[in-house]
Amino acid sequence: MKGQNVIDSSSESIYNKLDEYLRSTTRLYLFNGAALVAKKGTILLNKGYGWKDVATKTLNDSNTIFQIDSVTKTFTAAIILKLQELKKLSIYDPIIKYIPEYPNGEKITVQQLLTHTSGIFNIDVDETDTIAWIPVSKKIMLSYFQNRPLGFEPGTKYSYSNSGYFLLGMIIEKITGHTYEQVVREFIFDPLQMTHSGFDYIHLKDTLKATGYGKFDVDNHIAAHLTDSTVTFAAGDIYSTTCDLYKWIQVITKEQFFSPCWH
């Protein structure tokens, strides 16, 4: 794929409209990044827009690497469901089975973590928080939310929770005996040849790496302070490219990640 646009004559008009729209939003400082648009297996557009790094005057292209933050959760959820397929767990298991010390763990299920219905307090670390900048232990991260009272009885309401996906990462590690990163690579990145996807964006040394901006307009280009991977973990640790994510989406939409008999 290598980031090229795959366009035939029937798709050229769509490409031109998409490209013009994204170029116009880039000029207005409403978009800065890369976009891949595909329809029925045909890539209509795959192109970068705006600055990869203002300081070095480099532009985004279709191979630029971005931190994908909470899109990480889709990979975490898929691994959990894969482990169920392999009969390593059941999503109906109480989490106390895997994290014995967790408060109220006997009445919170893996499924409730997956669906943001656990009632667990959501830890939402801001880039201004000192904890975001340095490596921390799982014990420290747990201390930020595990002793907070539940927001509601598990399974009765919905409330988005990074904390729940942090716990799912811990469950993956407990069951497999490997790090979350190793498991994602083994199950997803390596088989799909997602060679520009990985973890720990802060320490990534790659000329394709984008600089994220906390403020980006005609007068200000202020780089965002990146959050350490030990903080985001299974809730937001992954970086990737449009091409790599397209590989993943194709596998999911074609229902190729799970065995047919498991549906």
How far is the CA of 105 from the CAs of 83, 116, 117, 132, 141, in angstroms?
20, 15, 14, 26, 17
Residues with Cβ within 8 Å of 7's Cβ and at least 6 positions away in sequence, in order, are 15, 43, 44, 45
- Please tell me whether residue 46 adopts helix, strand or coil conformation: strand
Running DSSP on this structure, what letter comes out for residue 188?
I
- Identify the burial level of 219 via C-beta atoms within 10 angstroms of its C-beta, where 0-12 means exposed, 13-18 middle and 19 or more buried: exposed
- Pair 68, 238: CB distance under 8 Å: yes
Question: What is Dmax (Cα atoms) for the chain?
Answer: 61
Rounded to an integer, what distance in angstroms lies between the CA atom of residue 1 and that of residue 25? 26
- Please tell me whether residue 62 adopts helix, strand or coil conformation: coil
Question: Would you give the distance in Å from CA 25 to the centre of its chain?
Answer: 24
- Pair 255, 215: CB distance under 8 Å: no
- The residue type found at 237 is D
- pTM score, whole prediction: 0.91
Tens of pLDDT, residues 223-259: 888 889 999 999 999 999 999 999 999 999 888 888 7
* Structural domains present in the chain: 12-68+196-219+239-262 (no CATH), 71-185 (3.40.710.10)
pLDDT band with cut points at 50, 70 and 90 for residue 9: low
pLDDT of res. 59: 98
Residue 170 structure tokens: 């811990």
pLDDT of res. 130: 65
pLDDT of res. 253: 87
Tens of pLDDT, residues 95-107: 999 999 999 999 9
List the 238-240 sheet strands across, edge first: 66-67, 238-240, 198-199
Mean pLDDT of the region 206-227:
91
- Pair 218, 54: CB distance under 8 Å: no
